[in-house]
């Protein structure tokens, strides 16, 4: 799965991923329902394969977005920032699957009870909003705690990590950062260059005092957040500083004052490729890794 990323995952990227055999997801973020509908129409023109929409439940437009999703019978939605429970009965009526993103066992169990179809367990290595646990720790704990399929996210960019996620009990993976540098991804070239140049320790988590920490690449904006943290500034000051900053980076290309959300695997993204090349590369590497592991296990008998 390609993660639904606000300002990043448009119809162009999502349709290319779905066409290539993955599952493309449009990131609705805080966008109005008309924008989301337009993207859905564009995807349907470009692919007949399944696709999804990521719905941020804290968006002021969430009710209207859900109506658009029902109208177009979108095959699946992923959700963040809340409990989609109240929308589930109507979504089920039109066959839309609901897959929330979770970062704790308690939330995973609560959402399973509310009738969701699967879960995305996202570790703190990921780009964007993060929880506390790593993918390695979180995924098996959620797999053990629920009886619905679990998809792993956070820190997955190649075939080795894909196989690792499957071995933790996940049925599949969701990737965000690696798809940022897909040729079909329409973000500003400055952001792609920043991700391509990133090294292992170039991402940090900011905004912990707001209760909504975010992982992004280090830049001037991050230093401003650090200053606020040192001053123990109130949460409102963090929120004020963050307003519009994701768009500033992704659309305007300001990689110093904008929020360049990206995961720890940014350092592993080394070239711009098509979505199809990315998926093929991962599958081919995973097959080799798997065969090699099998050999090693047999040799140890």
Q: Which region, left, alpha or beta, applies to residue 169 given φ > 0 means left and ψ of -120 to 50 means alpha?
A: left
Provide, rounded to whole angstroms, the least separation between the CB of residue 204 and ligand FMN: 14
Smaller CB separation from ligand FMN, 69 or 156? 156
Nearby residues of 109 by Cβ (< 8 Å), 6 or more positions away:
145, 146
What are 43's two structure tokens?
Answer: 């995807």
Smaller CB separation from ligand FMN, 22 or 27? 27
Provide, rounded to whole angstroms, the least separation between the CB of residue 49 and ligand FMN: 19
Provide, rounded to whole angstroms, the least separation between the CB of residue 272 and ligand FMN: 16
Provide, rounded to whole angstroms, the least separation between the CB of residue 191 and ligand FMN: 8
Smaller CB separation from ligand FMN, 143 or 195? 195
| CA-to-CA dists, residue 190 to 39, 128, 202, 222, angstroms | 24, 18, 16, 17
Summarize the chain as % helix, strand, coil (round to 5): 50, 15, 35
What is the enclosing helix (H) or strand (E) of 100? strand 97-102
Smaller CB separation from ligand FMN, 228 or 246? 246
What is the CB neighbour count within 10 angstroms for residue 26? Answer: 31
What are 266's two structure tokens?
Answer: 């940014």
Exposure of 152 by Cβ count < 10 A (0-12 exposed, 13-18 middle, 19+ buried)?
buried
- Measured CA angle at 213 (ends 169, 24), to 5 deg: 50
Provide, rounded to whole angstroms, the least separation between the CB of residue 231 and ligand FMN: 27
- Measured CA angle at 207 (ends 205, 210), to 5 deg: 140
Provide, rounded to whole angstroms, the least separation between the CB of residue 297 and ligand FMN: 28
Provide, rounded to whole angstroms, the least separation between the CB of residue 162 and ligand FMN: 11
| CA-to-CA dists, residue 117 to 19, 21, 142, angstroms | 23, 21, 14
Smaller CB separation from ligand FMN, 154 or 242? 154
Exposure of 89 by Cβ count < 10 A (0-12 exposed, 13-18 middle, 19+ buried)?
exposed
What is the CB neighbour count within 10 angstroms for residue 200? Answer: 10
Provide, rounded to whole angstroms, the least separation between the CB of residue 95 and ligand FMN: 22
Query: Can you give the binding site for ligand FMN, defined by CB under 6 A?
Result: 3-6, 8, 27, 29, 54, 56, 80, 101, 122, 125-128, 153-156, 174-177, 261-263, 265
């Amino acid at each position: 799965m390609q993660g639904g990323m606000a300002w990043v995952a448009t119809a162009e990227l999502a349709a290319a991923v779905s066409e290539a055999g993955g599952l493309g997801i449009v990131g609705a973020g805080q966008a109005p329902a008309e924008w989301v509908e337009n993207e859905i129409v564009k995807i349907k023109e470009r692919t007949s394969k399944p696709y999804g929409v990521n719905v941020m439940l804290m968006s002021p437009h969430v009710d209207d977005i859900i109506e658009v999703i029902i109208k177009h019978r979108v095959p699946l939605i992923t959700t963040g920032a809340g409990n989609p429970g109240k929308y589930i009965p109507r979504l089920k009526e039109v066959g839309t699957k609901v897959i929330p993103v979770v970062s704790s066992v308690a939330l995973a169990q609560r959402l399973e009870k509310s009738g969701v179809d699967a879960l995305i367990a996202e570790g703190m290595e990921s780009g964007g909003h993060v929880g506390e646990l790593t993918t390695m720790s979180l995924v098996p704990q959620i797999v053990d705690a629920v009886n619905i399929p679990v998809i792993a996210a956070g820190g997955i960019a190649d075939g080795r990590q894909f196989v690792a996620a499957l071995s933790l009990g996940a049925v599949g993976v969701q990737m965000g950062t690696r798809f940022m540098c897909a040729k079909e991804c329409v973000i500003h070239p400055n952001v792609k260059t920043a991700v391509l140049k990133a090294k292992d320790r170039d991402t940090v988590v900011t905004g912990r005092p707001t209760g909504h920490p975010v992982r992004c690449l280090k830049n001037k904006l991050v230093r401003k957040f650090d200053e606020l943290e040192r001053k123990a500034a109130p949460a409102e000051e963090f929120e004020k500083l963050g307003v519009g900053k994701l768009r500033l980076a992704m659309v305007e290309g300001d990689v110093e004052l904008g929020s360049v959300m990206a995961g720890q695997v940014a350092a592993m993204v080394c070239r711009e490729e098509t979505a199809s090349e990315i998926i093929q590369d991962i599958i081919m590497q995973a097959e080799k890794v798997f065969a090699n592991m099998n050999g090693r296990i047999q040799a140890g008998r």
